[in-house]
Each structure stands twice: as structure tokens, then as C-alpha cells.
Structure 1
Amino acid sequence: MTMKKYAAEAIGTGALVLLGCGAATLGDLGGAPNSTQGVGPLAVLPIAFAFALTVTAIAYGVGPVSGCHINPAVSIGVWSAGRLSTLNLIGYIIAQCLGAIVGAAILYAISNGRDGGYDVAVAGLGQNGWSNISTASAFLAEFVGTFLFLVVIHIALIRVTGASVNPARSLGPAVFVGGKALQQLWLFFAAPLLGGVTAGLLFRWRSL
């Protein structure tokens, strides 16, 4: 049963990356061509809906099996709330990261089929990042965004960093895009995981 949970998390996270990042990469939404950070105002809602509807659909499919975390920050939040064992936390995170990489690989393969080819280093793969704000501001946005994601909503932060709030979702595209996406990846692990732990502890202490 445990392996079924890990498989469900891998499949769910892969689908999230494929469909969510695919909305930014393949949708031609008029925003920044290489990432979900800095997208135009008309692109924010379609991308947000793509991620939200994907999560909703996945929840029906894998929720009864694994709880549909599909996000290391969610898993670490559940762990810090005392509702997930350390062993399962490790298994969930490994499965989510592997699923995200596979999802990004499928998206890259689809994008490569475009007429004239596809330069992922230039056109990107829906990766997260920041450029017009300080690192401290980006960290704060991801920390607060993850905290709000676990308890409410975070749509306003999409134009700041792409509102990753999900280390696996950031990892998948970054593996293929490389360069700045990999250099900035640390923040999309550190801030969301810290935000997840904070939210989980507040639930554990019954402050939420």
C-alpha cells in the first residue's frame, strides 16, 4: 500500500507539472515566454486556473490513495502537524520530485515538436524565478505564498516569482532549462518548505 501512495504522488505531481507548466509554455498567453514569473495580467488567471483545476482533478484520482499532497511543502506541513511519519515524508518527497522531472520531460518532448524546433534555454519550460525584486523579497513571497497556499490562497504572488509554493514543481522544469533556473532553485525549496513547516506547526498547536 505504501508503494501505491508513492506512485500516486509521483503521477499526481507529474501531471501537475505537465499541465500547469504546459499552460505557461504552450498556451501563448502573452506573458514572459520563458517562465511563470513576470507574466502579464491577462496570463495570470489562465495559469492559476490551469494549476487549480489540475490539482482538483488529481485530488479525485489520487486523493483516496495518498492524500494528494503532490508538493513537498504540503508533505512537510502534514509531517510537522504530526500527521505523517518521517519515513513516509522522505518517500513522498522523493516520489514527488521524480514525478515532477518526468512531467517536465514530457512537456519538453511535446514542446520540441513545434515547427522550427524549441530552444528550452531561451523559451523556457514554465520555470520559476525572479529578476526585478531582491532575493529577500522573493524569499518572503514564497514563504508567505506557501503558508497561504496551505491555509487559503496565493494567486496575487504569481507575478512576483511565479508563485511556485512547490519545490517539486520548480525542480522539474529547472532540470531541463538549467542556467538561472537551477541557480535560483534553492529559494524554491527553502522558502516553501519553511512556509509548510510553519503552517503545519500552527495546525498542530491548534492556532489554525
Structure 2
Amino acid sequence: MKSISISALGAEGLGTALLVIFGVGTAVIAGDTVGTPGIALAFGLTLLALVYAIGPISGCHINPAVTVGALIARAITPITAAFYIVAQAVGALIGALVVLALASGRPGYSLSSDSLGTNGFAGSSPGEYDLVSVAVFETIATATLVLVVLATTARSVHPALAAGIPIGLTLTVLHLLGIGIDSTSVNPARSFGPALVAGGPALSQLWVFVIFPVLGAVLAGLIHRFVLKVPASTDTAVSA
């Protein structure tokens, strides 16, 4: 994208909201039924569909980490990146509020005890993984996702034909591994929305799911630019 447009920002906000609604929503509302594979597929398939739906409009970043990676790879400008990240954060918050509204319709649901699909480490981790394990996972997993995004949307391929499936499948695989570690972030916006709504430990630990995914994104951008030496596309699509 060479200039900022309202439609692109709207697409980023809407796409991020939908990723939270169907990804986090599946974890919160149907997690006991579908289990880890089902939650992983909810995130991956939602992202796959959104690549094709809004990719032509905004590039379908729907993830600040992807936006940072695209910035490092010189696929977008700093001002565009800043606006994208704001739109993604707003969309994630709206998505989290929708998930809370849906979950609250079940008798006995309590935000304090049932959570909202938030990410965390130590006592807030599903497997009680410590900060080091979570930091390493988020850095490596996000770098992998962003590198796949940059590679599959490079100028040497056609994003509309090639990007959606590998990106969606990558997010699915990352969730299969990460759900038991920290509920899987690899997307600061996905973590931001639920944490802001839930508050408590999720909000106090949010910094982890901003710093390390961004670190992974920077690494991916640098690898793409200087090691793989593939020109990044200004149509960079996606992620979670």
C-alpha cells in the first residue's frame, strides 16, 4: 500500500476483530468441545479466509508483528505502519468485547474465573510455563509466521494465489504447539484486546506478548531483507 486509505484501515480493524472473535471466541466458548486442534484450526482457517477477503484492500496484516516485519522489509512506510497498528488494536478490543458478550450469555460464566482466552506465563500459563519458555516460543514462532508472510507475498509470487494457504497453515501449526505453553499470541493485538477487557494478571503480563512477538518480527524482517534477499511486496498479506 503506497498511501493510507480509510478502507485499508477499516479492513485492518475489521479483520483483526474477526480473528479475535472466531479464534479467541472458539477457545473461550467451544474450547472444551473442539480441544487444541479445533482452536488451532479456528485461528488458521480464519486467517486463511481473511487473506483472500481483505488482502487486496490492506494486505491483511491484522497483526502488529506482521506490520513491523513489513516495515523492516521496507514494504510499508513508518506512518502507514503506525496507523495500521492503531486500527489493529481497536479491532482487537472490539473483537474481545464481542467474545465477552457472547460468553456472558452462558449461565455461570464468570470473566474472573473462566478468563477470555488471554495469554500468560507462570500461573497464567495453561501448562505453567515460565517466562523464559514463553519468551523463546513467542520470539521463534512470531519470526516463523512473519517470515512465511514476507516470503509468500514477495514479488516473485502472486499473493492472491499463493499466500493464504501457507500463512493459514503456519498459524495453525504454531497454535498446536503454543496453546499449551501460553495460549499462543504471535500477535500483540490478539493479546491486547482480551487482556484489556479481562484486566488482572493478563494485563500485567501483556508486555511479554508485545515485546517478544515484535522481536521475532524484527528478526524475520532482517532475515528476509538481508539473508534471503527477496524484495518484499507492498501488498504484504497477513497474519495473526
TM-score when normalising by structure 2: 0.78
C-alpha distance in 1, partners of 2:22/2:63? 15
Task: Determine the C-alpha separation between the residues in 1 that align with 2:147 and 2:76.
Answer: 18
1:150 aligned partner: 146
Query: Identity of paired residues, percent?
Result: 40
Please tell me the residue identity of whatever aligns with 1:61: A
The 2-side partners of 1:140 and 1:28 are apart by 25
For residue 9 of structure 1, report the CA deviation from its aligned partner.
0.2
Q: Residue 125 of structure 1 aligns with which residue? A: 116
Q: Deviations over 1:39-97 (max 9, x none)?
A: xxx72211110000100111121110000100000000000001110000000000000
CA contact (8 A) 2:129 2:182 kept: no
Is the 8 Å Cα contact of residues 120 and 176 (structure 1) preserved in structure 2? no
Match of 2:69 in 1: 77
C-alpha RMSD of the superposition: 1.5
Within a 5 Å distance, the mapping from 1:1-208 to structure 2 comes to 2-29=5-32, 43-116=35-108, 118-131=109-122, 132-152=128-148, 153=170, 154=174, 155-207=176-228
Aligned residues: 196
Distance 2:129 2:114 in 1: 22
Report the alpha carbon displacement of residue 151 of structure 1 after superposing the two structures with TM. 3.2
What amino acid is aligned across from residue 129 of structure 2 in structure 1? Answer: I
- Read off the aligned partner of 2:35 and give its amino acid letter: A
- Which segments of 5 or more consecutive residues in structure 1 lack a partner in the other structure? 31-41
Residue aligning to 1:34:
none
Shift of 1:175: 1.0
Deviation at 1:28, TM superposition (A): 4.0
Q: Secondary structure at the match of 1:27?
A: helix
Separation (CA, whole Å) in 1 of partners of 2:31 and 2:7: 36
Deviates more, 1:123-132 or 1:7-16: 123-132
Higher RCO, 1 vs 2 (CA within 8 Å, ≥6 residues apart)? 2
**What is the TM-score with the length of structure 1 in the denominator?**
0.89
- Amino acid aligned to 1:159: G
Q: Distance in 1 between matches of 2:142 and 2:91?
A: 20
Moved more, 135-144 or 183-192: 135-144
Asked whether the equivalents of residues 126 and 173 of structure 1 are also in contact (C-alpha less than 8 Å), the reply is: yes
